[in-house]
Amino acid sequence: MEIEKLKETARALLADGKGLLAMDESTGTANKRFAPLGIAQTEEMRRAYRDLIVTAPGLGNSISGAILYDETVRQKTRDGRPFVDALIQAGIVPGVKVDAGAKDMAAHPGEKITEGLDGLRERLTEYAGLGLRFAKWRAVITIGDGIPSDGCIAANADALARYAALCQESGLVPIVEPEVLMDGDHTLERCAEMTERVLNVVFETLKRQRVALEGMILKPNMLLPGLQCPVQNSVEEVAGATVTCFLRTVPAAVPGIAFLSGGQESELASARLNAMNVRFRGRMPWALTFSFSRAIQQPALELWRGDDKNVEAAQKALLHRAKCNSAARRGEYNG
Ligand code: 13P
């Protein structure tokens, strides 16, 4: 394993004042986001949308890395450059989602297990050859009546750790994403208890599978009350609970934490990240940044609506959210 190369990639992804842009929606998810806006669900429209994102002028000033989906890795911009090359030219490190999605877990009603380990070594070798420098794998944990179960947490942690070890073998930095969903009516306290339990098992398993913590990035959920919980906590309470949980569970050897947005409203996601970076400045051993998809893209997608004449307005909205989150990463966001 070339640990120095992994550390260098992680450093680039965690560069000061920058964060990651997740644009790795699978075909199914991209189509699901297009449908309510009346955007045609075709390969060309997905390409055109990704073109708009990657060619947004100055995106590299706030975005350090972009996570692609396999289809996009093989597509080109309107002016004929492979998306991977266009990102590199924009000063953005290209990466790719390599899991095959979360499927219903046998004997575990209401729970999911992420698939995609078979043939992963060969796929990673191909991606490394195409110029990709990091990868992402998302595990999904649901809070509900009697769940998550130990079986679901252990199986997902195992898959994350085996994926991470394979990535490092191929010279790719693994983004390890155990997402505790915000669906449900659970409280912030229950989310905190479950996220702490999940992260403890994930790090135990990563160490058992000999993953170099220095050469990975954690992509967790923020600690939030369920969307249907009658008590919605303040930005300060969310920030306090989230960093307190990480200080207990995430080893200092991990260079950075980059949040998913998970369906939070865009401004709230920025405000919460900002509050953490203000309140815990100088007291966190890792960089604390973003790896948002919806919280960066959604306003732009709603403006674009699949129409060429809206590209400029959509790019402006995208750059605005990217800049807001870049400010939040520095603790300098003020709405
Ligand atoms: P959201 O920020 O929309 O949650 O997406 C992040 C991501 O990459 C999910 O895997």
Residue 237 annotated in active site: no
The sign one gets for the Cα dihedral 212, 218, 223, 224 is: negative
Q: Which two tokens stand for residue 334?
A: 């003020």
d(CA 75, CA 78): 10
Is 0.80 surpassed by the pTM of this model? yes
**Residue 185 DSSP code:** S
pLDDT by residue (tens digit) across 157-213?
999 999 999 999 999 999 999 999 999 999 999 999 999 999 999 999 999 999 999
For ligand 1, atom 8, name the residue with the nearest CA: 22
Look up 177 and say whether it is catalytic: yes
Could you say which of 112, 177, 179, 323 is catalytic?
Answer: 177
If we measure between CA atoms, which residue out of 183, 216, 186 comes closest to residue 3?
A: 216
Indicate if the alpha-carbon torsion angle 10, 15, 16, 21 is positive or negative: negative
The preferred substitution site among 138, 179, 290, 292 for testing ligand 1, maximizing ligand atoms within 8 Å of CB, is 292
ipTM: 0.94
Residue pLDDT, tens place only, 13-36: 999 999 999 999 999 999 999 999
Pairing of strands 217-218, 19-22: unpaired
Residue 32, token pair as written in the block = 């699901």
**Cα separation, 52 vs 315, whole angstroms:** 7
- Indicate the pairing of strand 217-218 with strand 256-259: parallel
Label residue 292 left, alpha or beta by phi (over 0 means left) and psi (-120 to 50 means alpha).
beta
**Residue 136 scores a pLDDT above 90:** yes
CA of 262 to the centre of ligand 1 (A): 6
Asked if residue 101 has pLDDT above 90, the reply is yes
| pLDDT > 90? residue 1 | no
Residue 145: the pLDDT is: 97
pLDDT over 90 (residue 141) = yes
